[in-house]
Chains A and B, each alone.
Chain A
């Protein structure tokens, strides 16, 4: 692998004169970028320390950081790291790293290294191809060989005439670019076309520094909007965002897993042969973190047996019900008291009894969230739907705005929160406008329109963005006075209170570029996924992936004979992403996008080394597997899989 490291330690003579009359040094070194990730311990800092100590200098401390030019991380790491008595900070990094530390302005900074110049290189994959980024691509004229960087003189109108035996006169080791261009064009039969070209001029003013500065600030603005990092994958929401929710016909049979939530599976309270009605409880929750389960159709229980689960794979105990097609309601399905008369405990009980879990995907039992042991300042409803392709929550906002607001009021009452927010991304202006008009008369509920950025809807990002608070490492939203729920969950709570209907149905987006008739459907829990796909006309193409959920965090399923569960917000048919893992090149993109401000490249390294202790020190448990790092990884490392493995590793060690 080519080493494109951006700096080299200054030579010892220069360093000696630099250190003359200077003492009490704190050393900050960058772990380098764009090179093979072979060590956590780049030797340059140690070389510098040895040299300084040989001169009798005192070193107050040494710290080695990843990507020193990342201001956000560097400032955090150095904030309390510089010991008393330090007079100078010696920085072993490229010019960017040095300036980043100097900008902190805490102590005088000594540059202990020089930047290396890689003119023309900016590819991500350490290719030997270079591009001068001249702002006027000439490759169309030259058969794809760049005259700016491949010709020593950057000539645009043919060779200089100085080449000898095909070699450049400036650098005899280099082939003459114009001979290569001639050969390529000749092979393609394009010589005539080339000779007919007008004389090319290079416009140096195209790279306007001011434009670039404006552009950089625009990117930074986007990158830091609301919270650090995140990505902007293609949304493709236009496929279904304007299609109204449609009722999926009542299925003939439903398979309802006993485990559709985080925590212990529910315990069946019906047996094979029993007749059950819609909304009847068929399994009871088993411990504090668990959730009960209800029948989504009326009919006969035909089996209680292991079945394949969309997220957990084969072997998950499930209750199979054959529908009688009559949709008979259970007696328990009746409205509760009006919200004004319900006590907080009664609301929590309804949420618990009606089997409501988080409907954004993870499936945490909602009633547990409604019993925070800390005072709550605000309830945040997540209507961001930051996953590409999915539009189910968007449709719920548009079609059930009153239920969503009612649900929010109920949650606020349950946790005694003085304030409620409905947070919606700015790619759904219709939903923002509708909800805003609906809450205009409500003092303590506000609609917050946030900039579209994945993973906006993650609870920690939402809290940071709306309340400006950071959930501490290992903490919960309640630790900073927040409760976060999905808008669909709020609708389910509203239904449970207003009609008494438990969570037996949900909105599902069926979409993706390979779905024949994309749709937004209201589907009974337990409906077979393949039936839904068939209902939507099936899929096209043979090299496709079916995922439950969105393209970023959804689970790829090989078997479509699985049921829709409480957390299934989407069924999508997308292109299979073919990739082969390559070595990490320390490009730093994963660090750049990690919303939790972690360093995923190190997780990958430590998991491969089996170093559980280092994983803990790097806060691997703070990762919520949003997949930004894997999405952006230029070496296609399956980072999420590795991180999951790492989390298992630390559990085993403890």
Chain B
């Protein structure tokens, strides 16, 4: 899940110089795609007569599925000089790969939705850091709950329990302290100094390959 935001209308207009074919992906971000705004913009392009065809589908990140959706539009795509894609960055790249000879343009910006990996977006966040610290912190993540991702306790800068970086955010380490106290596990804070291992991508790669 991610947020797809329309680029400015002015910018998108600057991309379209000739005949254009439009691909909309409502895929996984079914709840966050700016459907109405994109629709209005596409209608105005169509009125100007520069649109050769429009496909609205989902999951264009799946190349096989994308090919199937585009099959019956091949003439319209040939006719167009540009393909304008309203989707996340993965979708745009999939289209660009399918048509390496065409100018493929992204009409949207993509913003990651942290805390979401599988299902409904959570209030919880996981930085996928590769070294889970939750054992030491009563199940509150210091990587994401602390602005500084400190793993060995508070920085000391919190005021009235609020973070010095973002005064609207509670200090993650105060929350951790509270949770551990409630659980009777303050002893967990006497653990040895923790180090953050930034080199976890290698482990991920091995796991992927195995």
A580 with B65: CB separation less than 8 A: yes
Q: How far is the CA of A607 from the CA of B32 in the complex (A)?
A: 33
Q: Is the CB of A212 within 8 A of B3?
A: yes
Q: Complex: how many Å from CA A70 to CA B123?
A: 11
A184–B100 contact, CB under 8 A? Answer: yes
Report B178 CB to chain A, min CB distance, Å.
11
B62, chain A: closest CB distance, angstroms: 3
Binding site for A on B (CB under 8 A): 1-3, 5, 7, 15, 26-28, 30-32, 35, 56, 58-59, 61-65, 68-69, 71-72, 88-97, 100-106, 108-124, 126-135, 138-141, 166, 168, 179, 182-183, 185, 200-201, 203-204, 207-208
Selecting from A107-115, A426-434, A545-553, the interface stretch reads A107-115
B32 contact set on A, CB distance < 8 A: 215, 219
- Alpha-carbon separation in the docked complex, A543 to B59 (Å): 21
B118 to chain A, nearest CB (A): 4
11 A-B pairs (CB sep. < 8 Å)? A3-B207, A67-B119, A69-B122, A71-B120, A95-B127, A110-B135, A113-B132, A115-B127, A123-B91, A134-B110, A139-B96
Within 8 Å of chain B (Cβ to Cβ): is A146? yes
User: Which residue of the partner chain B has the closest CB to A98?
Assistant: B134
0/1 string, A234-258, CB within 8 A of B gives 1: 1000000000000000000000000
Assuming the contacts A127-B94, A588-B119, asked whether A207 and B112 have C-beta atoms less than 8 A apart, the reply is yes
A636 CB to nearest B CB, Å: 7
**Chain B residue at minimal CB-CB distance from A100:** B124
A234 and B204: CB pair below 8 A? no
A-B interface, 6 closest residue pairs, ranked by CB to CB distance from nearest: A102-B139, A144-B96, A131-B89, A125-B62, A95-B126, A123-B61
Whether B7 pairs with A137 at a CB distance below 8 angstroms is yes
**Cβ-defined partner of B118 (8 Å) among A6, A101, A129, A636:** A6
| Shortest Cβ distance from residue A422 to the other chain B in the assembled complex, whole angstroms | 27
Measured CB to CB, the closest approach of chain B to A446, in angstroms, equals: 29
In the assembled complex, the CB of A179 is this many whole angstroms from the nearest CB of chain B, namely: 15
Once the chains bind, are B140 and A102 in contact (CB under 8 Å)?
yes
Chain A residues whose C-beta falls within 8 Å of the C-beta of B7 in the assembled complex:
137
On whether A632 and B93 interact (CB within 8 A), knowing A67-B118, A114-B132, A188-B103, the answer reads no
**Min CB gap B129→A, angstroms:** 7
Question: Do residues A587 and B118 form an inter-chain contact, with CB atoms below 8 A?
Answer: yes
Per-residue CB proximity of A308-322 to B under 8 Å, as 1/0?
Answer: 000000000000000
Q: Which of A117, A144, A187, A543 contacts B93 (CB 8 A)?
A: A144
Set A70, A187, A212: member contacting B101, Cβ < 8 A: A187
Q: Tell me, in angstroms, the Cα distance from A6 to B27 when the chains sit together.
A: 21
Instruction: Let me know if A129 and B65 touch, CB within 8 A.
Output: no
Question: Any chain B CB within 8 A of the CB of A167?
Answer: no
Counting CB contacts under 8 A, is A190 at the interface? yes
For the complex formed, measure the closest distance between the CB of A428 and the CB atoms of chain B, giving whole angstroms: 17
B138 touches A102 (CB 8 A): yes
Complex contact A139–B120 (CB within 8 A): no
Q: Separation in Å of the A598 CB from the closest CB of chain B?
A: 13
Judge whether A96 and B130 touch: CB under 8 Å: no
CB distance from B20 to the nearest CB of A (A): 13
A10–B131 Cα distance when bound, in Å, is 9
Known contacts A124-B61, A188-B103; is A4 also within 8 Å of B122 by CB?
A: no
A160 to chain B, nearest CB (A): 19
Asked if B93 and A145 sit within 8 Å, CB to CB, the answer is yes
For B128, what are the chain A residues with a Cβ–Cβ distance below 8 Å?
A: 6, 94-95, 115-119
A103 close to chain B: CB less than 8 A: yes
Contact with B along A566-580 (1 / 0, CB 8 A): 000000000000111
**Within 8 Å of chain B (Cβ to Cβ): is A130?**
yes
- CB of A582 closer than 8 Å to a CB of B: yes
In the complex, the answer to whether B126 meets A124 with C-beta atoms within 8 Å is no
Chain A residues touching B, range:
35 or more
Nearest A residue to B200 via CB reads A117
Q: Which residues of chain A have C-beta atoms less than 8 A from B119's C-beta?
A: 33, 67, 69-70, 588-589, 591-592
A231 at the interface (CB under 8 A from B): yes
A115-166 contacts to B (CB < 8 Å): 115-119, 122-125, 127, 129-137, 139-140, 143-146
Apart from A103-B124, A122-B1, A135-B111, what 20 extra A-B contacts exist at CB < 8 Å? Answer: A6-B118, A94-B128, A95-B124, A96-B122, A99-B141, A111-B135, A114-B130, A114-B200, A119-B128, A123-B61, A123-B88, A124-B27, A129-B61, A133-B2, A133-B110, A144-B95, A190-B103, A219-B120, A579-B68, A592-B119
Contact A137 to B111, CB < 8 A, known contacts A118-B128, A127-B90: no
A18, CB-defined interface residue at 8 Å? yes
Chain A residues with CB under 8 A of B100: 143, 184, 187
Please indicate the chain A residues that have their CB under 8 angstroms from the CB of B56 in the complex.
234
B110 vs chain A, min Cβ distance (A): 5
From the candidates A102, A133, A580, name the one contacting B134 in the complex (CB within 8 A).
Answer: A102
Partner of A231, one of B30, B96, B131: B30
Nearest Cβ on chain A to B142's Cβ, whole angstroms:
11
Question: Is residue A8 contacting chain B, with contact meaning CB distance below 8 A?
Answer: yes
Q: Determine which of A71, A110, A137 lies in contact with B89 in the assembled complex, contact meaning CB atoms within 8 Å.
A: A137
Which residue in B3, B93, B106, B204 is a CB contact (below 8 Å) of A116? B204
| Chain B nearest Cβ from A580, distance in angstroms | 6
**Contact, CB under 8 Å: A206 / B132:** no
Asked whether A139 lies within 8 Å of B135 as measured between CB atoms, the reply is no
Q: Is A223 on the interface with B (CB-CB < 8 A)?
A: yes
A70: chain B residues at CB < 8 Å are 118-120
Chain A CB within 10 A, most for which of B32, B58, B135? B135
Which B residue's beta carbon lies closest to that of A211?
B111
Q: Is A634 a contact partner of B124 (Cβ separation < 8 A)? A: no
Question: Would you call A99 and B126 a contact (CB within 8 A)?
Answer: yes
The residue in chain B whose Cβ has the minimal distance to the Cβ of A215 is: B3
Q: Which residues of A contact B183 (CB under 8 A)?
A: 108
Residues of chain A lying within 8 A (CB to CB) of residue B131:
114
Report B190 CB to chain A, min CB distance, Å. 13
For residue A616, CB closer than 8 A to chain B, the reply is no
For residue B182, give the distance in angstroms from its CB to the closest CB of chain A: 8
With a cutoff of 8 Å between Cβ atoms, the chain B residues found around residue A124 in the complex are: 27-28, 59, 61-62
Q: Say whether B135 contacts A69, CB under 8 Å.
A: no
On whether A130 and B134 interact (CB within 8 A), knowing A95-B126, A187-B101, A190-B103, the answer reads no
Q: Are A127 and B92 in contact (CB under 8 A)?
A: no
A210 within 8 A of B: yes
Closest to B69 in A: A578
Question: If the complex has contacts A133-B111, A543-B72, A636-B65, are A98 and B132 also in contact, measured as CB distance less than 8 A?
Answer: yes
Q: How far is the CA of A188 from the CA of B96 in the complex (A)?
A: 12
Given contacts A3-B207, A127-B63, A139-B93, contact A115 B129 (CB under 8 A): yes
CB distance from B175 to the nearest CB of A (A): 11
Give A70's nearest chain B residue, CB to CB. B119
Complex CA distance for A393 and B92, rounded to whole angstroms: 40
Chain A minimum-CB-distance residue to B116: A216
Closest CB in chain B relative to A125 CB, distance in Å: 3
Which residue of chain B is the closest to A576 with respect to CB atoms? B72
Instruction: Give A634 to B26 CA distance when docked, in angstroms.
Output: 11
A137-B106 in contact (CB<8A): yes
Contacts of A220 in B (CB 8 A): 120-121, 123
Across the interface, do B104 and A144 meet the contact criterion of CB distance under 8 Å? yes
Q: How far does the alpha carbon of A224 sit from the alpha carbon of B199 in the complex, in Å?
A: 38
B101 touches A143 (CB 8 A): no
How far is it, in angstroms, between the C-alpha of A146 and the C-alpha of B104 when the chains are bound?
12
- With a cutoff of 8 Å between Cβ atoms, the chain B residues found around residue A209 in the complex are 166
Interfacial chain B residues near A34, Cβ < 8 Å:
117-118
A2 interfacial contact with B, CB 8 Å:
yes
Q: Once the chains bind, are B106 and A122 in contact (CB under 8 Å)?
A: no
Knowing A133-B2, A135-B110, A634-B27 are in contact, say whether A111-B93 is a contact too (CB < 8 A). Answer: no
